[in-house]
Amino acid sequence: MNKTHLTGVCMASLIFAGCSDAPPGARDDRHEPAKSATRAAAADSFHLPRDLEIQLAESALPQHLQERATIYVLDPRKGFEVARAGTNGFHAFLARTGDDAFRGDWPLSAYRDDIIYPVAFDEAGSKANMRVFFDAAELQAKGTPPADLKKLIKERYADGYYKAPDRGGVSYMLSPILRTYIDPEKSGDVETSTNPHIMHYAPNVSNQALGGVKPGINPLTFIIQEGPHGFAVQHLGEKERAAIKNQYAPMLERLCGLNSLWCLPRDGER
**Model confidence over 196-240: pLDDT tens digits?**
999 999 999 998 998 888 777 667 889 999 889 999 999 999 999
Domain that holds residue 161: 10-262
In a domain, 268, yes or no: no
Q: What is the mean pLDDT of residues 249-258?
A: 97
In a domain, 79, yes or no: yes
Determine the pLDDT at residue 266.
Answer: 78
Judge whether 12 and 133 are in contact, CB under 8 Å.
no
- pTM for the full predicted model: 0.83
In a domain, 5, yes or no: no
Burial of 148-171, coded b for 16+ CB within 10 Å and e otherwise, reads: ebbebbeebbeeebbebbeeebbb
Provide the number of structural domains found in the chain.
1
In a domain, 220, yes or no: yes
Judge whether 245 and 237 are in contact, CB under 8 Å.
no
Q: Is the pLDDT of residue 119 over 80?
A: yes
In a domain, 102, yes or no: yes
Give the chain's mean pLDDT: 85
Handedness of CA 40, 46, 51, 57 (dihedral sign): negative
In a domain, 1, yes or no: no
Closest CA to 195 of 83, 100, 111, 124: 100
Judge whether 202 and 231 are in contact, CB under 8 Å.
yes
Q: Is the pLDDT of residue 36 over 70?
A: no
Q: What are phi and psi of 29, to 5 degrees?
A: -80, 10
In a domain, 270, yes or no: no
Determine the pLDDT at residue 44.
Answer: 56
In a domain, 245, yes or no: yes
Closest CA to 60 of 218, 178, 168: 178
Picking from 10-24, 134-148, 234-248, which range would have the lowest pLDDT averaged per residue?
10-24
